[in-house]
Chain A
């Protein structure tokens, strides 16, 4: 069964450093998302991406964040200057569109980011 993959599984970085999180969505999906989950808390929406542009972003997704689809398969989240509070699990998700709508978002296994 096709699945969303994410690399790395864990990332440790120093405050102020840039990190890039990688995702490979399911191949025939058209909508891509990033969410984050701080330990013990709920999943929070960051950004959605469709047709090579951002469709929607939350208040969390400030100027420090950017997303890119550099080729036909990868979808990346960049944090330019990490802060301690960016420590969280970051999930990528993708969604297929079908006639009549298909609500299922398929989540990847996540990248656990620790900012020291």
Chain B
């Protein structure tokens, strides 16, 4: 069956670096996305990897290894406002043009301590 596995909770200290891992087992794969969600809020896009390697966007980076069905989100210089849930999401189909929905993991609750 389809599954995306990520830790349920991670705790880190303000100013530190944290890595949130995601492994996936899906019937198809066309890219791994990361979304941030604050309590009661909408998911907000952070990063996307279609090919192996590292993508960097400011304090956030994301890595993908397609051969290992594995990716991670790296958050640097952690700030209190980074306390949120982080979801990895896979697009399993490519029907052309991107009309396909995302399959989300269960999310990692990131707790930042001062």
Q: A-side interface residues toward B, CB under 8 Å?
A: 30-31, 33, 35, 41-50, 55-56, 58, 91, 95, 97, 101-110
Contacts and interface: CB of A to CB of B under 8 A. Distances in A.
B103 A45 contact: yes
B76 to A, nearest CB: 21
Contacts of B37: 43
A107 B101 CA distance: 13
B104 A50 contact: no
Interface string B25-62: 00000010101010001111100101000000000000
B95 A56 contact: yes
B48 A56 contact: no
A95 B89 CA distance: 15
Contacts of B107: 42
A73 B113 CA distance: 43
Contacts of B95: 55-56
B100 interface: yes
A87 B50 CA distance: 34
B87 A55 contact: no
